[in-house]
Structure 1
């Protein structure tokens, strides 16, 4: 063996040892961060099985864990009756997530290649991948229909905040029964004020599905205004219903939506308040949460909604009655993108 070859082998060995040392250090640091977080009042987290299927031990919450440590960004679960209790982490990482009826949608980073991208991954009840779809931008909203047959997601393809007006979104709907993917709701026929409408500045976001697995509601933005729309997947139409409605979330009984409303005189970077809209009467009710909420709420039942606000580790979850009564209360620290599963 030549001296040069011995030097190359030695150099490679040194690099390998350094890589192992760095990996061990980072892993130990991550575990230390998690232990310190728990000692400081953060949740205890252990690796285990997480399922989206109904369980015999009662309702539970599956969510994106935001606590520091090796399980940050993983889907985790807690009993709905003990939301601040010990967490079970799945090993499956998502940026945005939602689930219903044993089906999940996970918007995640797609690592590899010259530059990381994003993809939407449909998950079965055991969090195994059913299908994957490339995303055209940064994930922001995700929803599964009550029966688990439809999934929708929204990404930013230009800009990265709903607060201003200089952004562009793309919203897709996937029918898991047929495999049909409507890549953009902008391809649907828009009926605005009773007439067909077309414009280059149309954007959609924040889909929420009805129980019939055909009807949906969403936000349509055009001409500097936002509109609540009702969509029909079979007819491929959306119809405007009301102005100044963003990120609607349909109640389990299908009678109301809770949404973000822009309120005059609030700061430009925090312009929203949560409101409930009765779809039959058109009556609006402000909810008791007075902070600006940039989220699409999730209903826990026909009386209560859950949403995220900024927290020490990225986001915390809060709940508030949907009828305007009561007061907001923190539900979970260091958590985002919840799905309430019975």
Structure 2
């Protein structure tokens, strides 16, 4: 075997039993690695800011913000998954089979938790806009925390059920140097159904309902604002509506990043799925974890104010948790 052929193998000394690399120009490879590394750092940093902000400032301890905190924790962890994608960019897996299995499990847990949290956020906004009078009694901080814990527990349970249907990645290698798993037809349909069709249907139906109710209530309040609508109620409603719009942007961004992955997954033949062949749509999906905190920066004034507290180290001062950042 020639030297030029050996450079295309993940493990040249293993010959034909080794997987082949995805050969790219050096400049292209450097650009891809730099972009992924930058996204990893920014995703981890920005979501850490969200976690610190909501955890530290007591004024932000609301059911909606705790849901955002859960989403940010998942996004924060996703930032570290870019490391595995960087490894897979040339189509070679240089770590052990156990690490491949670990990556698959963690990825599924985090993505399932993110999807579940997005559904909870949609339900929260639905109740806040469509039933604002009963929202404080129906949606409490304790109930929000219970829902979040349940969501993460269900994500872990779903992951182990799904992975039990899959064969071990180490048993389905077609060559040495890849991280792949044989996806059984039942597992593929189950994942499509529970991780995409059901959540997306719930999210879309709830936000369509929120939009219809918001428009009708806005018209009614506009015509009666000077007659029977208390100013305080109008202010609260506008606040809830603004929160619904912001979180609606989060949901839209999530769906735009999520959908391509499932389109590609459906177009791949049933059987072995090579992780490197899905690298683009997986990275696009991961990029949503960077997009979410950016949405908060541009659309939430309180988040920008909290960032100033953190960057200027005012957060270290005594009593800073009681600051009025709203």
Q: What band does the TM-score fall into relative to the shorter chain?
A: under 0.3
Length-normalised TM-score, structure 2: 0.27
Structure with more helix by fraction: 2
**Using CA pairs below 8 Å that are at least 6 residues apart, which structure has the higher relative contact order?**
2
Length-normalised TM-score, structure 1: 0.26
